[in-house]
Chain A
Amino acid sequence: MRKFWLLPIKLSMLLVLTTATGNAAALPEDPLNSVMWENMAQRFFPGEVVIDQRVVVLSPHEAEDQMQVPVTVDATQLENVVEIVALADLNPIPHILTVKPLQAQAFVGFRVKLEQSTPIRVGVLTSDGVWHVNGVIVNAAGGGCSAPASAHGTSNWYKTLGQARGLARRDGTDAARLSLRMRHPMDTGLAPGIPVFYMNKLLVKSADGVDLADVELFEPISENPTLTLKPLVSNEAEDLLVYARDTEGNEFEFALEVPAMADN
């Protein structure tokens, strides 16, 4: 497992070297008071960092189930959002996901596995190169990332791999609220004897093939990944296409229909 997350870390260190050495001193104090703050900022938020309450991060204060902790990120108060990066500071693999809302609102909902109580931290990069960071602390019982997925209780998990349930509704006049859940064990590689195996890519496209939202998922995303995104749509009824791929090269595709404004 080790090597699968060391590599991205090394690459991001290189980025830090070229961009962050000058202004690392300007890193604001962490409102969550995390021992990992400096490290997280250097690894994941290269450039100017500000603490910004306009990045709204919602998650339960106490996690009922550390394998399935719901998180909602709403950065729609910011303009020109390029990228949303979600982290769990104290997870063995901190990086949860990266969303590029290409033609979508700066909004994402997901479920995450937590290894212990940790800050859930979100950095939102705007086109001026500034990272707007905010977060919450979630108290959780241990072991969310290093326990086997419940799929291991069954012998035929691969038969339902990628099976999806989803719903697309209108959300205001120009956006859809797309909620989906796909069957996947999302193995972190940290449970003994079970290789890393997770869905690492999800794309939402318009019916004519334009990318609307690009999501990179990482090991901490919960088994059977659950996501909410808000792609931009017209007033007419239209299909949204969802494409996903996992680390074993399995590919999944399905479509969800957004009703016309008049029928909503």
Chain B
Amino acid sequence: MKQQFLKLAVVSAIACSVGVSASATADAVDTAAIVGDQASTGDIVSYGLGPRGQRYSPLSAINKETIKNLFPVWSFSFGGEKQRGQESQPLVKDGVMYVTGSYSRMWAIDIATGEELWQYDARLPEGILPCCDVVNRGAAILGDKVFFGTLDAKIVALDAKTGKVVWRKKIADFEAGYSYTAAPLIVPTEAHGPLILTGNSGGEFGVVGQVDARNPDTGDLVWSRPVIEGHMGTLNGEESTMTGTANESWPGDMWKNGGGATWLGGTYDADSKLAYFGTGNPAPWNSYLRPGDNKWTSSRVAINPENGEIEWGFQTTPHDGWDYDGVNEFVTFDMEKDGKVIKAGATADRNGFFYVLDRTNGDFVSAVPFVKNITWAKGIDENGRPIFDPENRPGDPAESADGKKGKSIFAVPSFLGGKNWMPMAYSQDTKHFYIPSNEWGMDIWNEPVTYKKGAAYLGAGFTIKPIFDDYIGSLKAIDPASGETKWEYKNKAPLWGGVLTTAGGLVFTGTPEGFLKAFDDETGEELWKFQTGTGIVSSPVTWEQDGEQWLAIVAGWGGAVPLWGGEVAKFVSHLNQGGSVWTFKIPKQLAAK
């Protein structure tokens, strides 16, 4: 027995010393590494492969020619009975993958072997109120810590080596309906050093959207910025400024539970030095209870990270009545048009329009529909404001005979959006955006509602319907300069996963049917697919390790579609849950040929 024990001890001693030497030579992640993440292909230290969120990699070893030789390396199970939706984007640093999963869990995995280094399970209270599945979209990394948000609306800093909690702070009160699912955003500032920015979730519970900035070392709050007019921000522990002007675009005290949840997190542009957050739907859904534009709901706001002030806002759906929850990511890029370079940003809104804005001041540049048969608006005017179709706003319940149900209308897109949370990608080679979208509409009607803490605050009923018999999902390549759709890939089930594009001329995305697919970035031709065994609703990543290009995707069907899907159920009800991460590369013997 003694001998056996000593062998064991020697083995673990070797393992430990290898780990130590690896960490001694590695550079810790700083904000320069985060801002420069897109160009440094050896790691992934931000959500979006760079905080601009372009999801473009300059790697090209896996390309249109070699992709036929792409094979899985390992699959890692998240285990347990807690499967459900897996929407996470992995991070990679020094040969270690940090990946989050459903029910506020996180793993560190040795990429070379696929073996677990540690697991962290948040101890969630029983009463959490996530509206749209128990998902998490990813982590942030800085120095010796990794960070992620939990479903009880907290942010946790873990020791990257051990997975032990360093600090844990409350973002908001989960009993009021708040939760947290987005990846935190780390930005540099001159005034405070690095800051970690979070939004909040809870759009169906009458919460107030807010962006908080914390010190990554301690978790202490540096500033906070509610996005709804009339609410007061803070800076360095004191009240700073009010957001907008109270009651300018809200009646009475409706702004107090006005919604605008910043539930998808943000992007950051090192050129404009602004953090861009999308804001969700106004609450309640019944728009007759809140006449006015209801700022800043269904908007993009640009926040100065130095002080938490809103530099500009652009409202995609003023006075929203359809849950066109405008959180979708604002991806910055330089756009050549008519011989000029515009410092641009683009966003594909829930409302079905693809907008290009000036990222420095929010000025409207252009908008084109990216889904078919939009009914709620006839178009977007020259100022970027929708031209509403009054026939297609759900009716006022007060005008019905019994006052209990307003006139039902059919609106396209559905409230799950022309595009939902799943991030698009921008290729620096083709200059196209690749947008994961869905073609669906909804019957929607309004009902009376009053606010009650922790209860759904909708005032609407709805059911989603596909527009076409044979498909809902639609991956589109759109030229932002011309607004033209260059190609389209149709998928039977609604697309709910993010997109990645590479200098290898490839566009990757996953499908609820379980396939990770690769398309030709110029033609949309499907070049490769792999069945992961469960639906994909997450964002693929790629990086270089030991001279080889790797690809990873998290698999596990879930998210909002199976929970809210209405008639869509027949497209998705047969899909099975899971929870795993898959990695791929081209085997050495094939790469050499």
Interface residues of A (CB under 8 A from B): 3, 7, 10, 13-14, 16-17, 21, 24, 38-39, 42, 155-158, 187, 189, 192-197, 247-250
Contact call B81/A10, Cβ cutoff below 8 A: no
Contact call B13/A14, Cβ cutoff below 8 A: yes
Contact call A155/B2, Cβ cutoff below 8 A: no
Q: 8 closest pairs, A vs B, by CB?
A: A195-B121, A249-B168, A197-B123, A249-B165, A13-B9, A10-B12, A155-B126, A158-B125
Contacts of A196 in B (CB 8 A): 121, 123
Contacts of A3 in B (CB 8 A): 116, 118-119
- B:148-188 near A, CB below 8 Å: 156-157, 162, 164-168
Contact call A14/B9, Cβ cutoff below 8 A: yes
CB-nearest residue of chain B to A24: B2
Q: Judge if B401 is at the interface, Cβ distance under 8 Å.
A: no
Q: A10-B16, A24-B2 are in contact. Are A17 and B9 (CB under 8 A)?
A: yes
Q: Judge if B10 is at the interface, Cβ distance under 8 Å.
A: yes
Q: Judge if B6 is at the interface, Cβ distance under 8 Å.
A: yes
Q: Mark B7-25, 1 if CB is under 8 A from A, else 0.
A: 0111011001000000000
CB-nearest residue of chain A to B121: A195
Q: Which of A156, A192, A195 contacts B127 (CB 8 A)?
A: A156
Can you list 18 A-B contacts (CB < 8 A)? A3-B118, A13-B9, A13-B12, A14-B12, A16-B9, A17-B9, A24-B2, A39-B5, A155-B127, A156-B125, A187-B123, A193-B81, A248-B122, A248-B165, A249-B165, A249-B166, A249-B167, A249-B168
Tell me the minimal C-beta distance from A108 to chain B in angstroms.
24
Tell me the minimal C-beta distance from B554 to chain A in angstroms.
20
Number of interface residues of B (CB under 8 A): 30
- B:79-123 near A, CB below 8 Å: 80-82, 116, 118-119, 121-123
Tell me the minimal C-beta distance from A47 to chain B in angstroms.
16
Q: Which of A24, A39, A248 contacts B123 (CB 8 A)?
A: A248
Q: Judge if B26 is at the interface, Cβ distance under 8 Å.
A: no
CB-nearest residue of chain B to A189: B121
Contact call B8/A13, Cβ cutoff below 8 A: yes
Contact call A195/B2, Cβ cutoff below 8 A: no
Tell me the minimal C-beta distance from B527 to chain A in angstroms.
39
The answer for the CA separation of A195 and B102 in the assembled complex, in Å, is 13
Q: Judge if B1 is at the interface, Cβ distance under 8 Å.
A: yes
Contact call A14/B16, Cβ cutoff below 8 A: yes
Contact call B1/A38, Cβ cutoff below 8 A: yes
Contacts of B162 in A (CB 8 A): 7
Q: A3-B118, A13-B9, A39-B5 are in contact. Are A247 and B165 (CB under 8 A)?
A: yes
Contacts of B6 in A (CB 8 A): 17, 21
Q: A3-B116, A193-B81, A193-B82 are in contact. Are A17 and B13 (CB under 8 A)?
A: yes
Contacts of B156 in A (CB 8 A): 248-249
Contact call A42/B119, Cβ cutoff below 8 A: no
The answer for the CA separation of A250 and B16 in the assembled complex, in Å, is 30
Q: Mark B121-133, 1 if CB is under 8 A from A, else 0.
A: 1110111000000
CB-nearest residue of chain A to B150: A248
- B:313-341 near A, CB below 8 Å: none
Interface residues of B (CB under 8 A from A): 1-2, 5-6, 8-10, 12-13, 16, 80-82, 116, 118-119, 121-123, 125-127, 156-157, 162, 164-168
Contact call A17/B1, Cβ cutoff below 8 A: no
Q: A38-B1, A187-B123, A250-B168 are in contact. Are A193 and B13 (CB under 8 A)?
A: no
The answer for the CA separation of A39 and B82 in the assembled complex, in Å, is 35
Tell me the minimal C-beta distance from B170 to chain A in angstroms.
10
The answer for the CA separation of A250 and B168 in the assembled complex, in Å, is 7
The answer for the CA separation of A155 and B156 in the assembled complex, in Å, is 22
Tell me the minimal C-beta distance from B82 to chain A in angstroms.
7
CB-nearest residue of chain B to A12: B9
Tell me the minimal C-beta distance from A233 to chain B in angstroms.
32
Tell me the minimal C-beta distance from A38 to chain B in angstroms.
7
The answer for the CA separation of A197 and B477 in the assembled complex, in Å, is 47
Tell me the minimal C-beta distance from A5 to chain B in angstroms.
12
Q: A3-B116, A17-B9, A249-B166 are in contact. Are A38 and B2 (CB under 8 A)?
A: yes
Given A17-B6, A158-B125, A249-B167, list of 19 further CB < 8 A pairs?
A3-B118, A13-B8, A13-B9, A14-B9, A14-B13, A16-B9, A21-B6, A24-B2, A38-B1, A156-B125, A156-B127, A187-B123, A194-B123, A195-B122, A196-B123, A248-B122, A248-B165, A248-B168, A249-B156
Q: A187-B123, A249-B167, A250-B168 are in contact. Are A193 and B80 (CB under 8 A)?
A: yes
Contacts of A42 in B (CB 8 A): 5
Contacts of B165 in A (CB 8 A): 247-249
Tell me the minimal C-beta distance from B297 to chain A in angstroms.
31
Tell me the minimal C-beta distance from B411 to chain A in angstroms.
38
Tell me the minimal C-beta distance from B200 to chain A in angstroms.
19
CB-nearest residue of chain B to A6: B12
Tell me the minimal C-beta distance from B424 to chain A in angstroms.
34
CB-nearest residue of chain A to B163: A3
Contacts of B1 in A (CB 8 A): 38
The answer for the CA separation of A14 and B8 in the assembled complex, in Å, is 10
CB-nearest residue of chain A to B5: A42
CB-nearest residue of chain A to B82: A193
Contacts of B125 in A (CB 8 A): 155-158
Contacts of A10 in B (CB 8 A): 12, 16
The answer for the CA separation of A249 and B116 in the assembled complex, in Å, is 23
Contacts of A21 in B (CB 8 A): 6
Q: Which of B2, B10, B126 contacts A17 (CB 8 A)?
A: B10
Q: Which of A14, A21, A250 has the largest number of chain B CB atoms within 10 A?
A: A14
Q: Which of B123, B127, B156, B166 has the largest number of chain A CB atoms within 10 A?
A: B123
CB-nearest residue of chain A to B105: A195
Tell me the minimal C-beta distance from A65 to chain B in angstroms.
24
CB-nearest residue of chain B to A21: B6
Contacts of A17 in B (CB 8 A): 6, 9-10, 13
The answer for the CA separation of A10 and B127 in the assembled complex, in Å, is 37
Contacts of B8 in A (CB 8 A): 13
The answer for the CA separation of A248 and B169 in the assembled complex, in Å, is 10
Tell me the minimal C-beta distance from B149 to chain A in angstroms.
14
Tell me the minimal C-beta distance from B59 to chain A in angstroms.
32
Tell me the minimal C-beta distance from B97 to chain A in angstroms.
16
The answer for the CA separation of A197 and B10 in the assembled complex, in Å, is 31
Contacts of A39 in B (CB 8 A): 5
CB-nearest residue of chain A to B157: A249
Tell me the minimal C-beta distance from A139 to chain B in angstroms.
26
Tell me the minimal C-beta distance from A34 to chain B in angstroms.
14
Tell me the minimal C-beta distance from A151 to chain B in angstroms.
10
The answer for the CA separation of A19 and B165 in the assembled complex, in Å, is 31
Tell me the minimal C-beta distance from B136 to chain A in angstroms.
14
Contacts of B9 in A (CB 8 A): 13-14, 16-17
Q: Which of A7, A16, A248 has the largest number of chain B CB atoms within 10 A?
A: A248
The answer for the CA separation of A22 and B119 in the assembled complex, in Å, is 36
CB-nearest residue of chain A to B123: A197
Tell me the minimal C-beta distance from A185 to chain B in angstroms.
8
Tell me the minimal C-beta distance from B484 to chain A in angstroms.
50
The answer for the CA separation of A13 and B9 in the assembled complex, in Å, is 6
Contacts of A16 in B (CB 8 A): 9
CB-nearest residue of chain A to B168: A249
Tell me the minimal C-beta distance from A195 to chain B in angstroms.
3
CB-nearest residue of chain A to B174: A158
Tell me the minimal C-beta distance from B219 to chain A in angstroms.
9
The answer for the CA separation of A10 and B167 in the assembled complex, in Å, is 25
Q: Which of A158, A194, A250 has the largest number of chain B CB atoms within 10 A?
A: A158
Contacts of A7 in B (CB 8 A): 118, 162
Q: Which of B12, B80, B162 has the largest number of chain A CB atoms within 10 A?
A: B12
The answer for the CA separation of A119 and B129 in the assembled complex, in Å, is 44
The answer for the CA separation of A114 and B5 in the assembled complex, in Å, is 26
Contact call A247/B164, Cβ cutoff below 8 A: yes
